[in-house]
Amino acid sequence: LNLFAYTGAFSASLLVAGAREALDVDLSAPALRWAQEHAELNGVAERHRIEHGDCLGFVAAAAARGETWDIVIIDPPTAAQGAGGWVAARDYPRLLDEAVRLLAPGGRLVACLNTHGARFDLERALARAAQLGRCVVERGPALGVDLPLMKGFPEGRPYVLATCRRQ
C-alpha cells in the first residue's frame, strides 16, 4: 500500500522486485495516471491498482474493513491543497494511528517526511502509533553524504524516515 503515491515509484520498484500486488492511493488524478503509466512501462501493470481519494479517509475505511498489507508506505507532502488540505503536524499522527492497524503480522510501515523547515516529530508520532498497533519501531537508514546535517541546526534536517514492524 503506497499512500500519497504521486507517480507510484515505490510501488513500481516493489513490483519489479517481486511483490504480488501494489495499491497506489493519491488525491491527484494526474499523479495516479502517471503511476499507472509507470507500472505499464515497467511491465507490472497487471499487479498494480490505483485508488483516487483522500489517504486519511482511505486508511480509516480500509481499517474498518479489516484490510491488511505487508508494507504500508506513507510519503506525504509537508502541506497540500485539496479536501481540507494536508498539514503534516496536524494530520500525520492520526494517519499513523490508523495505518498501523493495516499491517499484517510481520508487516512494515515506512513513514517519510520532507520537512522543508516544518516542525513535526515524526519519530515520536510513529512511536506512539506503534504502541497502539503492537508494533516495534525500527531504526531507519541514515541520510547519505549528499544530505549533510549541520550541528546545532535540527530544523535543517530535510528528510525523515521512520519505520515500524508489526509483531
User: Is 150 among the domain residues?
Assistant: no
Question: Is residue 130 within 8 Å of 81, Cβ to Cβ?
Answer: no
* No. of helices (H) and no. of strands (E), the chain: 5, 9
pLDDT in tens, 23-58: 999 999 999 999 999 999 999 999 999 999 999 999
pLDDT in tens, 1-16: 999 999 999 999 999 9
Expressed as residue numbers, the domain containing 135 is 2-143+155-166
CATH number for the domain harbouring residue 23: 3.40.50.150
Residues ≥6 apart with Cβ < 8 Å to 135: 100, 103, 109, 129, 164, 165, 166, 167
What is the pTM assigned to this prediction? 0.86
Describe the strand order of the beta sheet including 48-52 as a list of residue ranges: 48-52, 22-26, 2-3, 69-74, 103-114, 159-166, 135-138
Q: How many domains does the chain have?
A: 1
